[in-house]
Amino acid sequence: MERPNAWKQYNGAQLDQLESFSRDYTAFISNNKTERECVASAIALAETAGYRNLDDVVCAQSKLGPGSRVYASNRGKSLILMELGSEPLTQGMNILGAHVDSPRLDVKQNPVEEKNDLAYLDTHYYGGVKKYQWVTLPLAIHGVVAKKDGTVVPVCVGEDAQDPVFVITDLLIHLAQEQLKKDAATVIEGEMLDLLVGHKPLVVEGDDEQKDPAKAQLLELLSQKYGMDEEDFYSAELEIVPAGAARDLGFDRSMILGYGHDDRSCAYPSLCAQLALTEVPARTALTILVDKEEIGSVGATGMTSLFFENVVAEVLALAGYGEGTLALRRCLGRSHMLSSDVSAGFDPAFASTFEPKNAAYLGHGLTFNKFTGSRGKGGSNDADAEYVALIRRVMDEHDVCWQTAELGKVDVGGGGTIAYILAKYGMRVIDCGVPVLSMHAPWEVISKADLFEAYRGYQAFLTLE
Ligand code: MN
Ligand code: MN
């Protein structure tokens, strides 16, 4: 069985829509490279679309009913958006879920170091990265510095054309004989990921003996720009990401080269599908954008936290279902979910790692993974056949271009998503997403057609009754 190529099916108007959606997406991922930035921008879009902060609604004890739109932010790093449907919440919801954290390098708590007149910030990588991919690239720093007085200073350096950028150096080829004999996992090791951030010494008149003058200069600049001192690094979250905007890829501009397609190529169309609802849906529509997927969905802002459950419980109470847990259990147990995360796109350069019949191809649309996991489906959410049939029907009824895939050949590897965490409520969950080339590399590749079909597929799913 072969699935159709989405590009062959578009008319002129659809191609215009595809281009326009791709432009908005490209701007979104260029301007939002951290979970905090994604959540802040998503909240701004939601407020424009009439969503109210759930905290305010709870405070005012306003009643919620069909058509009510609310959002809840979890420490500014994960976000839930809900539009209440015309049917009772206890009949279940249609849920879109995706993650907004991406692999990157985090600045350590005690990061500043001067070595031979060069100033560095020491880093600790986040998520699964091939460390050798992160050297000799222009890098930017995004994040926040929280100070003891309670103020939180935003940091974003390396994106504006006038900004400086940062880099991690590599050994020149001329002296790399020994380095090149190492395997790829150790050619650049974690502790070698030191970000070069300065060089010019601070000159203090009458003091030629000053220790670490390049570090002193760096701290002086940080103090001027952010009002921070070295100890403020203890309470900072600074993320090192590739500098610069996402770009069209290819002479035909059919693809996008960008940082963080995993998983913003699913998160952004999910958000847009939720916000694009023009009529009150039958079933309540919920979109959740979560943090910490790349490190196992743990912690207060990851999918395993009780935030999701707590928010739905608050909404049930405000919608008149009482404060007990039975309505919550029914609502969750009867829900349907698309758990969206990127798929491994078939890469002809590495064809032997894929099983061609069960691989995701760029341009062939939204990719459904009945199961994920590794080896004997370990760690997987395996969607039941009846649910897969329902999804096929709704996608076909809305002319969505879709395909099915596994993550590579059996036994070559594997991966997990947030699907199994929601599935424990008894809801019907299937993994789906956009195929990506070079997943987890600083610059990843997607097809605009798959991004657009994801958006169309999510819209179709939210109409499911
Ligand atoms: Mn990932
Ligand atoms: Mn992912």
Ligand 1 midpoint to CA 294 (Å): 5
Split at pLDDT 50, 70, 90, the class of 209 is confident
Contacts of residues 46-50 at CB distance under 8 Å and 24 or more positions apart, as own/partner, are 46/71, 46/81, 46/275, 47/71, 49/275
Question: Quick one: pLDDT at residue 207?
Answer: 77
Ligand 1 midpoint to CA 203 (Å): 45
Split at pLDDT 50, 70, 90, the class of 278 is very high
Question: Quick one: pLDDT at residue 205?
Answer: 85
Question: Quick one: pLDDT at residue 408?
Answer: 86
**Is pLDDT at 102 greater than 80 in this prediction?**
yes
Question: Quick one: pLDDT at residue 71?
Answer: 98
**Is pLDDT at 440 greater than 90 in this prediction?**
yes
Ligand 2 midpoint to CA 112 (Å): 31
In the chain, what percentage of residues exceed pLDDT 70? 100
End-to-end CA distance of the chain: 29
Question: Quick one: pLDDT at residue 414?
Answer: 78
Split at pLDDT 50, 70, 90, the class of 380 is confident
Q: Which ligand is nearest to the CA of 264?
A: 2
**Is pLDDT at 206 greater than 90 in this prediction?**
no
Q: Which ligand is nearest to the CA of 266?
A: 2
Ligand 1 midpoint to CA 355 (Å): 20
Ligand 2 midpoint to CA 293 (Å): 7
Ligand 2 midpoint to CA 128 (Å): 10
Split at pLDDT 50, 70, 90, the class of 85 is very high
Give φ, ψ of 159 to 5 degrees.
Answer: -100, -40
**Is pLDDT at 324 greater than 90 in this prediction?**
no
Give φ, ψ of 234 to 5 degrees.
Answer: -55, -35
Burial of 225 (0-12, 13-18, 19+ CB in 10 A): exposed
List, in sequence order, every residue forming a beta bridge with 144; answer none if it has no partner: 154, 237
Ligand 1 midpoint to CA 34 (Å): 14
**Is pLDDT at 281 greater than 90 in this prediction?**
yes
The pLDDT tens digits of the residues spanning 22-47 come to 999 999 999 999 999 999 999 999 99
**Is pLDDT at 255 greater than 90 in this prediction?**
yes
Ligand 2 midpoint to CA 266 (Å): 9
Question: Quick one: pLDDT at residue 373?
Answer: 83
- Whether the Cβ atoms of residue 435 and residue 343 lie closer than 8 Å to each other: yes
Q: Which ligand is nearest to the CA of 340?
A: 2
Ligand 1 midpoint to CA 192 (Å): 23
Ligand 1 midpoint to CA 73 (Å): 22
Query: Residue 304: how many CA atoms within 13 Å on its side-chain side?
Result: 10
Give 121's contacts (C-beta < 8 A, 6+ positions apart). Answer: 107, 108, 111, 112, 113, 141, 166, 194, 195, 197, 238, 240
Split at pLDDT 50, 70, 90, the class of 110 is very high
In the chain, what percentage of residues exceed pLDDT 90? 93
Q: Which ligand is nearest to the CA of 127?
A: 1
Q: Which ligand is nearest to the CA of 438?
A: 1
Ligand 2 midpoint to CA 322 (Å): 36
Fill in the amino acid letter for 428. Answer: R
What mean pLDDT value characterizes the chain? 96
Ligand 2 midpoint to CA 385 (Å): 24
Split at pLDDT 50, 70, 90, the class of 357 is very high
CA–CA dist 295, 288 (Å, integer): 18
Residues having C-beta closer than 5 Å to ion ligand 1: 262
Q: Which ligand is nearest to the CA of 341?
A: 2
Ligand 2 midpoint to CA 107 (Å): 22
Ligand 1 midpoint to CA 177 (Å): 33
**Residue range 309-323: mean pLDDT, rounded:** 97
Question: Quick one: pLDDT at residue 89?
Answer: 98
pTM score, whole prediction: 0.97
The pLDDT tens digits of the residues spanning 160-182 come to 999 999 999 999 999 999 999 99
DSSP states of 385-431 = HHHHHHHHHHHHHTT--EEE--SSSTTT-EE--SHHHHHTTT-EEEE
- Whether the Cβ atoms of residue 22 and residue 452 lie closer than 8 Å to each other: yes
* Tokens (6 digits) for 180: 């090149």
CA–CA dist 66, 339 (Å, integer): 24
Q: Which ligand is nearest to the CA of 263?
A: 2
Ligand 1 midpoint to CA 190 (Å): 19
* Tokens (6 digits) for 353: 């790692």
Ligand 1 midpoint to CA 52 (Å): 31
Ligand 1 midpoint to CA 341 (Å): 8
Burial of 67 (0-12, 13-18, 19+ CB in 10 A): middle
CA–CA dist 212, 116 (Å, integer): 9
Ligand 2 midpoint to CA 33 (Å): 14
**Is pLDDT at 416 greater than 80 in this prediction?**
no
Give 283's contacts (C-beta < 8 A, 6+ positions apart). Answer: 85, 87, 91, 92, 93, 94, 336, 464, 465
Question: Quick one: pLDDT at residue 413?
Answer: 80
